[in-house]
Amino acid sequence: MKNSFSLLEIILTLIISSIVIIYSTLFTKELFFENRINQQLEIQKIDLLSTKIFFEKHLKEIEKFNYSNQNLYFENFLLLEDVIKIVAKNMRCENIDELISKVKSNVLKSFENKLEEELTQRVIHIIKDNFEKKLNPKVKTFDIFFTEIQNYWSIQDFNKIYQDLKAEYQNIIDTKDYNRVLEIFNNKGLLYESKVIEECGINTKNNAYLKFVISILKENNDDSQIIRNAIESMIIK
């Protein structure tokens, strides 16, 4: 009789243990997916914030932007000095001022190296924009349309557009206007070329730097507020 009770106890213990293990596994799996979803939501929030800021700074050029690869966030804002400073502090980096100086130097160097490409693309946008504004969609005949085009192109000084823009960009380089570079530099690889990820000791894969910034923002403390202020200040400069 005693052996029967012992066997029954073992069976019940195994059943209870199995139930606990199954539910623990299910709970862990659910928690994992919930955290993953929350992380994606936070990424989308910073994407939306960065996009909003960028568009508000460039309302006159809104038609030049497009949506591609399901990605609209403006990653240059992740290179703002205050953002880097907070990331470096939370990663317990030493000589943060020197770290920031290196990153800024790399960004400015990248901009200078790609100056001609940036100028050319910007001039193309300006010419295209000016032409579309000048184009009269209400013309009745092709002859009138053709005449308008000829008249428009005959008065365009493309070299002046290029030279004026070049002088503006060269001044940005000469004055080391870091924030201005972040505003205008259309380089999707800038975050990596800046070396900020390596300097802060963060993994270079899987958007680790962005995710780390998001994790700071989620804390809702003084550091997160500094990052928010840094990004929002780009609107009211």
- What is the rounded average pLDDT of the residues 123-145? 81
Among 71-75, 92-96, 162-166, which stretch is predicted with the lowest mean pLDDT? 71-75
The Cα–Cα gap between 17 and 165 comes to: 72
Share of the chain above pLDDT 70, in %: 67
Mean pLDDT lowest among 7-11, 31-35, 53-57, 61-65:
61-65
For 50, 80, 138, the CA distances from 226, given in Å and listed in that order, are 15, 11, 51
Q: Which two tokens stand for residue 90?
A: 């939370």
DSSP 141: S
Of residues 200 and 231, more confidence is placed in 200
pLDDT tens digits, one per residue of 42-70: 666 665 565 555 555 554 444 434 333 33
* Residue 149: per-residue pLDDT: 81
Q: Give the C-alpha separation, 59 to 39, whole Å.
A: 30
Distance of CA 181 to the CA centre of its chain: 14
Cite the DSSP H helix spans in 58-177: 81-90, 96-113, 115-134, 142-154, 158-174
pLDDT band at 129 (very low <50, low <70, confident <90, very high): confident
- Per-residue pLDDT band for 127 (boundaries 50, 70, 90) equals confident
Distance CA(99)–CA(102), nearest Å, equals: 5
Give per-residue pLDDT as tens, 154-204. 888 889 999 999 999 999 999 999 999 998 888 888 999 999 999 999 988
DSSP string computed for 170-215: HHHHHTT-HHHHHHH---TTHHHHTTHHHHTT--SSTTHHHHHHHH
